[in-house]
């Protein structure tokens, strides 16, 4: 009981950080979405210019529902811009669009962390959904069916799956920060933003990156909790 309360006390500040980061990215985007860029380029215009200017002609630029739902879909060779980005000629919109093109260039240039993240994607998608149910099932089996080691091994498998999810989030950080650095460089190189407009774009991209930092910290807290469960099971088995 004491360890669980300690876990909650550690977790709550990180949950608060996550909520703050989410609110911050929305407020920062809203602030600079009201500031038009001097080149009068929309998010769509920006994405197309950056792609074509770097000789990339096999990536299409589409539009998806929602706000800040922008993403690069490498499986379908498409950059999907949200409604809030696609047709807006704001500093925020071109910053977000350029960030997604940054991911395209990571793939084209063989950026190693991007490769690692892509390898982890299918495993993480499965593991993130199954990890917690498997851990809970394992604890229940280990509690009520101690004569058979199924529960213990289920806990180990669940912790391993959750560890992969944490690893994915860890690898995601350099990928996202690198995409933002590429975005800012491309925006100035192609004359879409001027040097004095760049700080505003930087604020938008930094706020977005903070959501990934918060997610990683929460994931690590949970992983530490599960690792303690793992160590307690190992310790109990040694005593038995």
pLDDT, averaged per 10 consecutive residues of the chain (240 residues), comes to 67 87 93 96 97 96 94 95 95 97 97 93 68 59 53 66 81 95 96 96 95 87 74 56
Name, in order, each residue with C-beta under 8 angstroms of 72's C-beta and a sequence gap of 6 or more.
78, 79, 80, 100, 101, 103, 104
Q: Is 222 exposed, middle or buried (0-12, 13-18, 19+ CB in 10 A)?
A: middle
- Report the pLDDT value the prediction gives residue 141, as an integer from 0 to 100: 54
> 111-135 as b/e, with b when 16 or more CB fall inside 10 Å?
bebbebbeebeeebeebbeebeebb
- When computed from its CA atoms, the radius of gyration of the chain, rounded to whole angstroms, is 22
Domain ranges of the chain: 2-239
Tokens coding 43 = 């998010």
Model pLDDT, residue 180: 97
CA dihedral 46, 40, 196, 184 (to 10 degrees): 0
- List active site positions: 100
Structural tokens at position 17: 């950080």
For residues 217 and 221, give the distance between their C-alpha atoms in angstroms, rounded to a whole number: 6
Q: What is the pTM of this model?
A: 0.82
Per-residue confidence (pLDDT) for residue 224, from 0 to 100: 79
**pLDDT at res. 33:** 95
Six token digits for residue 199: 């700080």
For residue 231, the model assigns a pLDDT of: 62
Tell me the CA distances in angstroms from 13 to 7, 105, 126, 216, one per residue in order. 11, 36, 28, 13
């Amino acid at each position: 009981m004491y360890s669980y309360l300690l876990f909650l006390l550690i977790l709550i500040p990180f949950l608060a950080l996550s909520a703050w980061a989410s609110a911050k990215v929305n407020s920062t985007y809203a602030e600079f979405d009201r500031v038009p860029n001097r080149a009068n380029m929309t998010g769509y215009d920006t994405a197309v210019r950056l792609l074509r200017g770097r000789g990339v002609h096999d990536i299409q630029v589409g539009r998806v529902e929602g706000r800040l739902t922008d993403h690069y879909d490498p499986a379908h060779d498409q950059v999907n811009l949200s409604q809030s980005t696609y047709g807006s000629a704001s500093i925020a919109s071109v910053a977000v669009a350029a960030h997604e093109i940054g991911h395209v260039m990571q793939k084209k240039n063989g950026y190693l962390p991007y490769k690692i993240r892509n390898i982890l994607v299918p495993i993480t998608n499965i593991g993130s959904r199954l990890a917690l149910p498997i851990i809970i099932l394992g604890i229940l089996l280990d509690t009520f069916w101690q004569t058979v080691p199924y529960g213990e091994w289920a806990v180990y498998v669940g912790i391993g799956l959750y560890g992969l999810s944490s690893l994915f989030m860890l690898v995601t950080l350099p990928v996202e920060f690198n995409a933002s650095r590429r975005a800012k460089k491309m925006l100035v190189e192609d004359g879409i933003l001027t040097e004095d407009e760049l700080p505003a774009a930087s604020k938008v991209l930094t706020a977005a990156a903070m959501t990934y930092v918060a997610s990683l910290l929460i994931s690590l807290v949970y992983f530490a909790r599960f690792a303690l469960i793992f160590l307690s099971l190992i310790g109990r088995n040694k005593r038995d």
